[in-house]
Each structure stands twice: as C-alpha cells, then as structure tokens.
Amino acid sequence: MDHHAAAFSPMLCLFLLLAVGHGQLDFKFYDTTCPLLTKIVRRGVWSAIANETRLAASILRLHFHDCFVDGCEGSILLDESTDFKGEKNAFPNRNSVRGYEVIDAIKANVEKACPSTVSCSDILTLAARDAVSLTGGPFWLVPLGRRDGLTANETAANTDLPSPFESLGDITTKFTSKGLDSKDVVVLSGGHTIGFAQCFTFKPRLFNFDGAGNPDPSLDESLLTSLRSVCPNQDDSNTNLVPLDSATSSKFDNSYFKNLANSSGILQSDQTLMSDNKTAALVLNYSKYPFLFYKDFGVSMVKMGNIGVLTGQDGEIRKNCRVVNN
C-alpha cells in the first residue's frame, strides 16, 4: 500500500466494510472508485470483437477456465514464474485458450483511469458478460469486488476443468464440486453457441467411436460428412477449426440447443446432454424458448462468477494481469 492510500486508510476501511460486508460482492463496488469501469471494459471488448469476432467466444471461455480453477481470481492470466507453473500451459488451456491480450489491453486502460483499483478477475468477469451481450446474447448485472490471487496451479487446471471426452456424470460432478448443479451444466454449455473447436476435441466421434471403426450414432449423417471433410482421419487435421454451433457460430442465440435436438452437437460432451431425460428436457425447453435460455444463462453466469472469489483483504489488486505485484 502506498503512502497516499495509507493516509486514507480509516476511511477506506469503513468504505470496504460498508461495500463488501462479510466478504460479499457488490454491484456498486467501483461506482465511486472507478465510475468509468464498465464503459472502458465494454469498449475494449467491442474493439477486439470488431477486429476478430471469435474473440467474444475466447473471452467467455477464458472466464470459465479462470473460475473453475481455484475460483474466479485471475490465476489463469498469470504467466509462469519461478514461484509456480502457469495454468496457461495446462492441457485444457495450452494452444487452446486465447484472448489474454484483450484483457491486457483493457487492464492498461483501466489502470490509466483508476490505478491499482480494479482487479483483473473483475475485468475478466465483466468482459465475459460484454462478450455475450455484444454478440446478441443477454445482458446481466455483474456483482463486483473480486480480488486477484497470488499464485496459479497447473495441476488444478488439469484436474478440475471438464474434458469433452468425459461422461455427463463426471462433468456434472466437476460442476457440483464448484457449487453449481446439473441445470448449470446445461445452461452454461449453451456458451458453445459461439466459438470454435479443434478437430482433435471430437475426432473419435467421426471415425472410431466404438473401437470398431464406426462413427458416433448420435451424430447427424450430413453433419458427419461435412465434419469429416474439415477433419480428415490423419493427424495433420487435428488443429483445424470447426464452429461449435454449425448454424450461427458468431451469434449468441439458442441454436446450440436446436442443434442438440437434431443430433448436431459437435463435442461428445455437448450431444450427451440429450442422453439423460432430465438434461434433455431442459435442452428442448431452451431450443423452443430463447428468452428462457437468456434469463437462465445470466443467472448461471453470476453463479459461476462467484466461485471461490477472494474479497476484503484477501489476494491483491494486480497492476499487470500477467504477474503478481512485488
């Protein structure tokens, strides 16, 4: 803490007590300390998407991968250091998660307006909300006041994030261990209405689903043909990209659920939502009622954004999202 902040510390403490109560997040957390925050974040996300639409999807996923590993405390944003291995190199993230530069650029602008005030984890949470609403999806209010973690954990990133090859039961267990439930699995999987997947994340479905050389029977025949043409059965196609929503990949809508209803999910973990009566009933509901999906998505995103947050005096307000402060 510098001298300037120290001089005001009694007032600051009172403010913090009022604002965060018992370690709770607050919608008005930065209203007096950084009134331009939401505008700066939105403009940063907007200009990134204007240049490359896919970044909306990448930022949404970046937030998910932050929250599922030691909570939403910006650990995924930390570069590897002598003190710890970075989460960026964990298997689910390496050569896959993207959008770090967008958060860096927004953080730099936020630091200019309000130095050492706003956490990287709050910036990422707001950016994910804006990524969704700027691509046509719902808007929701984000409770703020997260603080940034002091370390990263590559092992936790490898164990806690769901894999596209896991069963619905195992994926649901990973969600419930974070305080989410089976409905959140369905709702948040709807994030796959935007963005792309590399061929290797679903290739067994195309060529050898059963070990006897047959494709996944729950994959639509014409989609199978077109996926096989982008992802031929050889290793050099592994990193080719396919839209997760083959109908409208850059629009945040409910067509992800319409796709599942007609066997057109891309990942095994997507289509498997139709294999259980309870989750399938929700999928069909969202395929019919886009605004029900939008409402529930905002609710589930707030829940996900609250996982394991640091508040009050815990953690710190990082100056640079890639490194912990001295």
Ligand X SMILES: *[C@@H]1O[C@H](CO)[C@@H](O)[C@H](O)[C@H]1NC(C)=O
Residues forming the site for ligand X (CB under 6 A): 51-52, 153, 155-156, 159, 220, 247, 255, 258-259, 262, 264, 277, 281-282, 285, 289, 292
Q: Which residue, 139, 253, 279, 134, is CA-closest to 191?
A: 253
Please, which residue, 26 or 276, has the CB nearer to ligand X? 276
Please, which residue, 48 or 244, has the CB nearer to ligand HEM? 244
Cα 268 to Cα 58, 232, 276: the distances in Å are 20, 18, 13
| Tokens matching residue 171 | 């994926």
174 backbone dihedrals φ, ψ, rounded to 5°: -65, -40
Angle made by CA atoms 98, 99, 102, in degrees to the nearest 5 = 165
Pair 244, 256: CB distance under 8 Å: yes
Please, which residue, 121 or 259, has the CB nearer to ligand X? 259
Looking up tokens 């939403």 gives 72
Kindly state the smallest distance separating residue 182's Cβ from ligand X, in Å: 11
Site string for ligand HEM, 254-293 (x = CB under 6 A): -------------x-x------------------------
The one-letter amino acid code at 258 reads K
| 181 annotated to bind ligand | no
Binder of residue 171, out of ligand HEM, ligand X, none (CB less than 5 to 8 A by kind):
ligand HEM
Kindly state the smallest distance separating residue 249's Cβ from ligand HEM, in Å: 9
Give the ranges where the chain is alpha helix by DSSP (H).
3-7, 9-20, 37-51, 55-67, 100-113, 120-134, 154-160, 168-176, 182-189, 204-207, 221-230, 255-261, 268-271, 277-288, 290-305
Kindly state the smallest distance separating residue 13's Cβ from ligand X, in Å: 29
Pair 75, 152: CB distance under 8 Å: yes
Give the ranges where 94-198 is alpha helix by DSSP (H).
100-113, 120-134, 154-160, 168-176, 182-189
Please, which residue, 75 or 279, has the CB nearer to ligand HEM? 279
Looking up tokens 């973990």 gives 269
Q: Which of residues 102-161 bind ligand HEM (CB under 6 A)?
A: none
Q: Which run of H or of E encompasses 305?
A: helix 290-305
Q: Is 45 in the site for ligand HEM (CB under 6 A)?
A: no
Binder of residue 61, out of ligand X, ligand HEM, none (CB less than 5 to 8 A by kind):
ligand HEM
Kindly state the smallest distance separating residue 60's Cβ from ligand HEM, in Å: 4
Binding-site member from 20, 49, 57, 72 for ligand HEM (CB under 6 A):
57
| 236 annotated to bind ligand | no
How far apart, in Å, do the first and last CA atoms of the chain sit? 11
Kindly state the smallest distance separating residue 156's Cβ from ligand X, in Å: 4
Q: Is 315 in the site for ligand HEM (CB under 6 A)?
A: no
Q: How far apart are CA 311 and CA 232, in angstroms?
A: 48
Pair 271, 171: CB distance under 8 Å: no
Looking up tokens 């014409």 gives 222
65: annotated active-site residue:
yes
Instruction: Please report, in range form, the residues annotated as the binding site.
Output: 66, 69, 71, 75, 87, 162, 192-193, 245, 248, 253
Instruction: Please report, in range form, the residues annotated as the binding site for Ca(2+).
Output: 66, 69, 71, 75, 87, 193, 245, 248, 253
| Interacting residues toward ligand HEM by CB under 6 A | 54, 57-58, 60-61, 64, 96, 98, 162-164, 171, 185, 188-189, 191-192, 194-198, 201, 244, 267, 269
Write out the catalytic residue numbers: 65
